[in-house]
A and B are shown apart, each in its own frame.
Chain A
Amino acid sequence: MATRVYVVARVPAAARETCEALVNPYLASPNEPGVYTFSVPLVPLAGADNAEPTAYGVCSAIMDDSGLYQALPALSAAVPGTAYKVVSPFRTFDLAADWTGWLAAGGLKVRQTVAL
């Protein structure tokens, strides 16, 4: 029986457009103009909160028998510097551990440009 899982992923800023094109065939609906799948700007953990993004991240729920799930290893291998993590089932997703902590382990954090 298929299980819905969360996938968190990060891609180098320079490879963002390439990665958008790679995942686009697997989307149920196209993104709006100017909206990206990899929409979360990420900056070096040790740097300023509002530094220029060096990577972009995403968190998406998909089925573990879907085409995107099956393609994840090949997609990641095709673009150096990318990384992803699967959290299964989706109800076990923990923001601190599976996103913030996972980013920190990779030397990244979410970019913040304003106090709120």
Chain B
Amino acid sequence: MSLSGGLTAGLVAGLTSRAMGGVSAWNPSRLTGLAVTLLPAESRSRGLLWQNTAETVPAVADGDPVRVAVCPYTGVKFTAPSDAARPLLWDEGGGKWSLSFDGVDDYLSSPNVAATGTQVVGVRFRNASSVSGVRLLVSLKDRLELAVLPTGGYRPLTWLYGGTNNTVGLAESTALDAGTYATAVISYAGGGPTVAANYGVVWNGTERTPTTGSNFGAPTGSGVGGRDGSAFFFAGRMPAVVVADASADAATRALLSTYLGAL
């Protein structure tokens, strides 16, 4: 399906579902270049979460550790590198589920979380209450990192391009509320990764203007919730991560943001 075809289908589905009072008709499978998703609620309902690498012990109950999470759309797996690194399935109530990351050593990796030419990443998350410093949401080796600065930072969400040590960030001045879920969708359209105009950012449903900021080093690994060798593991809960290896225009970013915001 072409980008325009996918976009049109997505828009139609989104508008139709909104008219019907929901957003369930649109899902990440409509994204061009969908690489992998981490959707605990949907994977759980389809029997695609496992406590062990042999995939013989399902993760279904509150508190169950997740060693393997299978994307319901692509079949691509997220895997924790060890039993200790497993995030926990968390019952949010109302049929909603997330994965809880302890902030010490929990993270998931996937071969399809990798840097490509153009890209879109969407994530919904909630910080733990007692967190300080930079925490990693999504890392793509040698390319970029989606990070959160829960306290003391003027850019709580930052899209980092490591290749030239330049940062393209979201100029968000309000500190993140630890008790509130946040949704971010960031796309890179190509044309130069250090140019802010080549990025599109939707923060909690509102399109924002990214800016170019200070320097960070290139990420040395890939993962969700952290990466090997990092001391900045995410502490909190994530109901969704979506990674597609194609850019997304403003309309598609809005659809993805709405989808994520309902999880």
Contacts and interface: CB of A to CB of B under 8 A. Distances in A.
User: Are both chains from one complex?
Assistant: yes
Interface of A: 4, 6, 8, 27-32, 35-37, 39-40, 57-61, 89-91, 93-97, 99, 110-116
A60 B67 contact: no
Nearest to A101: B130
11 contacts: A4-B88, A6-B102, A35-B81, A35-B228, A39-B81, A40-B105, A61-B65, A95-B235, A113-B229, A116-B216, A116-B219
Contact of B128 (A4, A40, A60, A95): A95
B82 A61 contact: no
B85 interface: yes
A96 B130 contact: yes
Contacts of A40: 104-105, 231
Report the interface size class on chain B. 35 or more
Interface SS majority for chain B = loop
Interface string B170-213: 00000000000000000000000000000000000000000000
Interface in B126-153: 128-132, 134, 145, 147
Contacts of B54: 29
A65 B104 CA distance: 23
Nearest to B80: A29
Contacts of A97: 130
- The interface centre, meaning the residue of B103, B131, B235 with most chain A CB atoms within 10 A of its CB, is B103
Nearest to A58: B84
Nearest to A3: B63
Nearest to B63: A4
A99 B52 CA distance: 25
Nearest to A87: B102
Given A29-B53, A29-B67, A115-B217, A95 B131 contact: yes
Given A28-B57, A61-B65, A95 B130 contact: yes
Contact of B231 (A28, A35, A110): A110
Contacts of B67: 28-29
B98 interface: no
A27 B54 CA distance: 12
B218 to A, nearest CB: 10
For the residues of A in contact with B, the DSSP-based class is loop
Given A97-B130, A115-B217, 5 more contacts: A32-B81, A59-B84, A61-B63, A61-B88, A96-B131
B83 interface: yes
Nearest to B147: A116
A96 B132 contact: yes
A28 B132 CA distance: 32
A60 B132 contact: no
B78 interface: no
Given A95-B103, A96-B130, A111-B231, A60 B83 contact: yes
A113 B82 CA distance: 22
